[in-house]
Amino acid sequence: MPENNNQYAINIKGKKGLRRIFNAYGYSLAGLKAACSESGFRQLLLLNSVLIILVFVLDFGMLTRMVLIMASFLSWIVELFNTAIEATVDHTSLAKHPLAKRAKDTASAAQLLTMLLLAVLWSLALWRDYLVNWF
């Protein structure tokens, strides 16, 4: 079995130029497809899609739009890492282990911080451009 794994790695890692780029693109699409099978990622996809549409509906300046869009993409990126860590830990073992719990909890905490960042940035943008005139 190790020979087959080594040959597979050589075939994959040995690609160069355009073939490597096309392979990487295919792996990325497969990763997005896998992430979409997770309900948490689908929820974030919906939430951030709505927020990105709102960025262009509301009368924000260009810099505010860029920051809010970057925050949405950051939450997607962190969720992809979170999903990858969970899959790796579960692949290694489904047994309860304190280090496995720590890995999963830490990845989840990263997503929580990203969502807090998203909420703070949206709150500040709305406050500055819409709510400050009400008070």
Binding residues for ATP, as ranges, are 20, 27, 38, 86, 104-105
Annotated binding-site residue numbers for substrate? 20, 65, 79, 108, 122-127
Catalytic residues: 79
Euclidean distance between CA atoms 39 and 123, whole angstroms = 26
Annotated binding-site residue numbers? 20, 27, 38, 65, 79, 86, 104-105, 108, 122-127
Annotated binding-site residue numbers for a divalent metal cation? 38, 86
Q: Taking a C-beta distance cutoff of 8 angstroms, is the pair 83, 38 a contact?
A: yes
3-state secondary structure of 38: coil
Q: Taking a C-beta distance cutoff of 8 angstroms, is the pair 120, 68 a contact?
A: no
Residue 114 has a CB neighbour count (10 Å cut-off) of 20
